[in-house]
Structure 1
């Protein structure tokens, strides 16, 4: 079983690349952003709670995110593996994910970080915001707040996974095909 954590700043291309990776490696794609948006659209209790944080450009608290993710993993017991997109975002989430996967006799195989310059990513998100309808992609201040949150809370995950020898950085700039090739090379060599 392959369990991959795909992370990078908002706009780095995680969602785009996840589509290719899930097909190529037959993985169940779990995007916390997609799951939150589904819950918000359907006005669930979780969606209402998540929206209060997302509207401010803040990350949703660990407890809420972890419960939601565990539920999604449990819904897919026959999966060949999982592609975690947008999770974990904090050390507490990473430790909780490791503990949860241990109960299923699984572990994280690798983490792959899509890396790109902030200014390029801000431009990408503002452009995406014109067509996506996502308010968090239409306000440069909110975008930069998300990057600050990422740097403070998510970047330390690199050291966490480096200590486990599971961290791989991939250049996220280039055509979709170029980035996909770089990611595939990392995963194929695991």
Structure 2
């Protein structure tokens, strides 16, 4: 089963991804992780991607598609959560073509809808473990170890992109770049929406039902 989680930064995609990985054995395609792995391995595509990043440019769609194609080859036969990809309609169309060649498809696209005001509050209070990536919140999910991660004792940090002025810019970019992608999947008939203002347990249960998985 291949699914896409799509939503604004901080809408809860990462939290739900981890739950589906832990409970149902999904693997997660994070474009950031795929990029870093390709660059570290010094693959041809990874070095090409790095050349754009070093110039402060976005990695072109065709390069990202190539990286994703390689990842999907490695994960053949597994259920994949796409998080952070596709961002554009061009990427969505290429992903459809890529999966069709493998006699596969995207079963469901889950759109995380959220009130922007709640989103800003959620992100400005978010703290992320610098070692394992576990996410906390100073109000709704504080660490019992204060400024340290409960899982690995790594220091918790307030990411630079979780500040209000940066968040507003990220939201504007999301609407501009990903809004058309949401409509692309809506027209295809495989888009489902969840209200991610709700508690994570409620959101998880709703997504589980959308996917037809036993909870």
Bucket of the pairwise TM-score, normalised by the shorter protein: 0.7 to 0.9
Q: CA distance change for structure 1 residues 128 and 34 in 2, over 3 Å: closer, same or farther?
A: farther
Do residues 21 (structure 1) and 13 (structure 2) align?
no
**Alignment root-mean-square deviation, CA:** 2.7
Question: Equivalent of 2:126, from 125, 128, 131?
Answer: 128
Which residue of structure 1 aligns with residue 181 of structure 2?
A: 157
Question: Equivalent of 2:80, from 72, 79, 82?
Answer: 82
Offset from partner CA, 1:120-166 (integer Å, 9 cap, x none)? 112222222574453222x3222222111111111112221122110
CA distance in 2, matches of 1:15, 1:129: 13
Does the CA-based 8 Å contact 1:129-1:135 persist in structure 2?
no
| Higher CA-based Rg | 2
Larger helix proportion, structure 1 or 2?
Answer: 1
Does the CA-based 8 Å contact 1:38-1:47 persist in structure 2?
no
TM-score calculated relative to the size of structure 2: 0.73
CA distance in 1, matches of 2:32, 2:168: 17
Higher relative contact order (CA 8 A, sep 6+): 1
Question: Equivalent of 1:92, from 90, 93, 102?
Answer: 90
TM-score calculated relative to the size of structure 1: 0.82
Does the CA-based 8 Å contact 2:52-2:58 persist in structure 1?
no
Aligned length: 182
Which residue of structure 2 aligns with residue 67 of structure 1?
A: 66
Structure 1 spans left out of the alignment, 5+ residues = none
Does the CA-based 8 Å contact 1:59-1:149 persist in structure 2?
no
Structure 2 spans left out of the alignment, 5+ residues = 129-155
Q: CA distance change for structure 1 residues 37 and 180 in 2, over 3 Å: closer, same or farther?
A: farther
- Give the drift of 1:52: 6.1
Q: CA distance change for structure 1 residues 39 and 127 in 2, over 3 Å: closer, same or farther?
A: farther
Offset from partner CA, 1:90-145 (integer Å, 9 cap, x none)? 100100100111111111111001111112112222222574453222x3222222
